[in-house]
Amino acid sequence: MKDQDIHAELSSIRDLMERSAKFISLSGLSGVMAGIYAIIGAALGRMVLKEEWVALDRDHYVDEYLVIAKLFFIAFAVLILSIGTGVWLSIRKAKKNGQPFWNTGSKRLLIHMAIPLVSGGLFTFILIYRGYYGIVAPATLVFYGLALVAGSHYTYSGVKGLGILEILLGLLCALMPGYGLIFWTVGFGLLHIIYGTVMHFKYDK
């Protein structure tokens, strides 16, 4: 009995340490919603470009400032909606499980993801400023993937797998210029929905 009590106590301590070191209130539904927002954004982007979905010419590049401005607005709206929904759903999950939303794990997750995300955002602005529109989509996918890999140490391990897929997709997108909208839809839309669904049924209660 004493050995069982010791093992149970050690298990409780280990579980408590893991909860404090990792952000486990991340909601799987937030990934699903982010994916839906991305697909809607991609559809709106398609309407702006006035291109047929399956007939995007890989040698075609967007260089009209008005079009770029509209696409930027759509991408920014998708980003704000995704972050806002993710924070709201994660706070709700944390309250439901009786856990603090803002703890050591969430702070570390934010810091480690912010470095590649901010760097990628600034790099993307530079690309747009210099007129290198053809590599904006792959750059956003690669930097986002790097952010997920960096932050995976402080949340669910499956985030790392999603990050690696985003990086590979971004590299493939760089090899196929002109198909950025399609890769963007798959990376930020489809993969998020699949991953969020798996996360929801595996971790959300």
Structure pTM?
0.77
Q: What is the 3-state secondary structure (H, E, C) of the chain?
A: CHHHHHHHHHHHHHHHHHHHHCCCCCCHHHHHHHHHHHHHHHHHHHHHHCCCCCCCCCCCCCCCHHHHHHHHHHHHHHHHHHHHHHHHHHHHHHHHCCCCCCCHHHHHHHHHHHHHHHHHHHHHHHHHHHCCHHHHHHHHHHHHHHHHHHHHHHCCCHHHHHHHHHHHHHHHHHHCCCCHHHHHHHHHHHHHHHHHHHHHHHHCC
Name the band, by pLDDT with cuts 50, 70 and 90, for residue 1.
very low
Q: What are the sequence ranges of the domains in the chain?
A: 27-203
- pLDDT, tens digit, for every residue of 59-116? 455 556 677 778 788 888 988 998 888 888 877 877 777 776 677 777 788 888 889 9
